[in-house]
């Protein structure tokens, strides 16, 4: 199948009407180029920064029914499947949602964002279920922006049969200086999700600014099931990208009962109240010495083999139980999974064998590589105790375990004679 992602210039609430010419242009272009499916960004209409719920309800903003009718026509007119973000009004609440339409413009599904990111908390309610939609190409999983930061959400979609995943998103720049464009999903996490779960991803983002509040990184992308980037948009501007993907059943995690119970149970995440302020990481020490030295210094360390980077569950459970450093034995050739294990859990991640190869901070930034040289690196373990992605986005508070569906590994049946 040919999937297209339409990257859009951000609009403000005052200029929400400018969305429609952009959406029409992108859909027409996708149709002419033979796309089977077009993905548009999170809150395609009216904007991601709503200013307030009251502002959204003013008469200059089209209501949900009218927006869905426009999207329906867009899909039908261009004879393509369409996934587009919008503000859903239901049960007296607002939801950050995405609607799915088939080639005839029939609405076949709606997904609600589960992980509330920063300003989502100001006006949206969280969704309570993961969405997989039957399509002519196979089972399509739908998640929205920060949902991709939660590994259990992708795992649930794949467990429910998703063969490819689409992501309407609005990737916000994490660099407060504005001199760089940084976002963990655009930089490495989407690749890691595809690698881990074995399904293609198609992500449509925004570029530009909404007011002075949000600055987007663009970089909409399509990634195959092996984590290879097939197409990627630039940082700036309206852009359509296309690529051929091959939907196929993904790799649902098969969890040992103890891990599964911790991930799905109601026991809260550990919130230790004491921690060592600083600790020296000896860069030329071997794995066992590093582990013992950090533990002796009072750092909470969980150890794994490098092969365990490929599965989110062991690291997730360690983080839920209060680990500050994830230490992996071995070497790696691609750091996407290492950086993802750090960023999704807001912990340090270190890979080492006879010496340290790489160190990643809780925000997913690489803070040391072997080529940097040196004898020692000072860690601040307390950074791993702060689980806030932003002042209004706490990792554990936004983790809704009751919504997840994760399979249990089957134990071998006893042999009877």
Task: Report yes or no on 250 lying in a domain.
Answer: no
- 190 secondary structure, DSSP code: H
Per-residue pLDDT of the chain (417 residues; tens, 9 = 90+): 999 999 999 999 999 999 999 999 999 999 999 999 999 999 999 999 999 999 999 999 999 999 999 999 999 999 999 999 999 999 999 999 999 999 999 999 999 999 999 999 999 999 999 999 999 999 999 999 999 999 999 999 999 999 999 999 999 999 988 789 999 999 999 999 999 999 999 999 999 999 888 999 999 999 999 999 999 999 999 999 999 999 999 999 999 999 999 999 999 999 998 899 999 999 999 999 999 999 999 999 999 999 999 999 999 999 999 999 999 999 999 999 999 999 999 999 999 999 999 999 999 999 999 999 999 999 999 999 999 999 999 999 999 999 999 998 865 455 544
Identify whether residues 274 and 238 lie together within a single domain: no
Phi (first) and psi of residue 248, to 5 degrees = -165, 155
The residue ranges of DSSP E strands in 342-405, in sequence order, are: 348-352, 356-360, 366-369, 376-379, 388-390, 393-394
Identify whether residues 85 and 133 lie together within a single domain: yes
Identify whether residues 313 and 354 lie together within a single domain: yes
Q: Which of 252, 226, 205, 297 is nearest to 10 (CA)?
A: 205
Identify whether residues 392 and 338 lie together within a single domain: yes
Task: Report yes or no on 415 lying in a domain.
Answer: no
Task: Report yes or no on 109 lying in a domain.
Answer: yes
Alpha carbon distance 295, 306 (integer Å): 20
Identify whether residues 303 and 329 lie together within a single domain: yes
Identify whether residues 206 and 267 lie together within a single domain: no
**Overall number of domains in the chain:** 2
Please, what is the Cα angle at 249 between 246 and 251, to 5 degrees? 120
Q: Which of 177, 209, 244 is the last residue of a domain?
A: 244
Identify whether residues 76 and 154 lie together within a single domain: yes
Alpha carbon distance 247, 166 (integer Å): 11
Q: Which of 189, 214, 244 is the last residue of a domain?
A: 244
Task: Report yes or no on 406 lying in a domain.
Answer: no
Residue 224: per-residue pLDDT: 99
Identify whether residues 12 and 158 lie together within a single domain: yes
Q: How many CB atoms lie within 10 A of CB 79?
A: 13
- Asked whether 100 and 112 are in contact (CB, 8 A), the reply is no
Identify whether residues 118 and 263 lie together within a single domain: no
Range of the structural domain that residue 213 is part of: 2-244
Residue 417: per-residue pLDDT: 45
3-state secondary structure of 16: helix
Task: Report yes or no on 414 lying in a domain.
Answer: no
Residue 178: per-residue pLDDT: 78
Task: Report yes or no on 285 lying in a domain.
Answer: yes
Can you give the pTM of this predicted structure?
A: 0.96
Q: Which of 210, 244, 278 is the last residue of a domain?
A: 244
Identify whether residues 220 and 293 lie together within a single domain: no
Identify whether residues 166 and 275 lie together within a single domain: no
Identify whether residues 15 and 78 lie together within a single domain: yes
Residue 409: per-residue pLDDT: 80
Task: Report yes or no on 238 lying in a domain.
Answer: yes
Task: Report yes or no on 366 lying in a domain.
Answer: yes
Q: Which residues, including other chains, have CB under 8 Å from residue 290's CB and lie 6 or more apart?
A: 281, 282, 327, 350, 352, 356
- Asked whether 217 and 206 are in contact (CB, 8 A), the reply is no
CATH of the domain at 231: 3.60.110.10
- Asked whether 397 and 360 are in contact (CB, 8 A), the reply is no
């Amino acid at each position: 199948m040919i999937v297209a992602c339409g990257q859009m210039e951000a609009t403000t609430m005052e200029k929400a009407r400018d969305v429609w010419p952009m959406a029409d242009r992108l859909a027409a272009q996708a149709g002419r180029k033979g796309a089977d499916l077009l993905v548009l960004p999170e809150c395609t209409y009216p904007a991601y920064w709503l200013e307030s719920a009251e502002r959204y309800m003013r008469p200059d903003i089209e209501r949900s029914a009218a927006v869905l009718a426009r999207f329906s026509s867009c899909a039908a007119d261009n004879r393509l499947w369409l996934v587009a973000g919008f503000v859903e009004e239901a049960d007296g609440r607002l939801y950050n949602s995405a609607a799915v339409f088939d080639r005839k413009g029939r609405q076949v599904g709606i997904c609600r964002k589960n992980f509330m990111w920063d300003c989502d908390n100001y006006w949206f309610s969280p969704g309570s279920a993961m969405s997989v939609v039957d399509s002519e190409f196979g089972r399509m999983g739908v998640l929205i922006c920060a949902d991709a930061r939660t590994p259990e959400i992708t795992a649930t979609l794949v467990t429910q049969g998703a063969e490819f995943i689409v992501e309407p998103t609005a990737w916000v720049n994490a660099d407060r200086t504005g001199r760089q464009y940084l976002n963990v999903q655009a930089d490495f996490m989407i690749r890691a999700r595809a690698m881990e779960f074995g399904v293609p991803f198609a992500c449509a983002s925004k570029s530009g600014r909404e007011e002075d509040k949000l600055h987007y990184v663009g970089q909409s992308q399509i990634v195959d099931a092996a984590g290879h980037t097939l197409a990627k948009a630039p940082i700036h501007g309206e852009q359509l990208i296309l690529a051929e993907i091959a939907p196929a059943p993904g790799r649902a995690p098969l969890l040992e009962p103890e891990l599964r119970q911790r991930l799905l149970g109601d026991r809260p995440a550990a919130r230790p109240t004491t921690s060592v302020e600083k600790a020296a990481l000896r860069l030329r020490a071997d794995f066992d010495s590093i582990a013992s030295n950090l533990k002796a210094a009072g750092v909470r360390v969980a150890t794994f083999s490098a092969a365990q980077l490929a599965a989110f569950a062991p690291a997730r459970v360690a983080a839920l139980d209060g680990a500050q450093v994830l230490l992996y034995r071995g070497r790696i050739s691609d750091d996407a999974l290492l950086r993802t294990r750090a960023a999704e859990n807001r912990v340090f991640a270190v890979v080492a064998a006879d010496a340290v190869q790489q160190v990643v901070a809780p925000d997913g930034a690489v803070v040391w590589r072997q080529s940097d040289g040196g004898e020692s690196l000072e860690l601040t373990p307390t950074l791993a105790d702060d689980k806030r992605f932003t002042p209004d986005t706490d990792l554990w508070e936004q983790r809704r375990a009751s919504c997840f569906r994760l399979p249990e590994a089957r134990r071998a049946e006893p042999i009877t004679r």
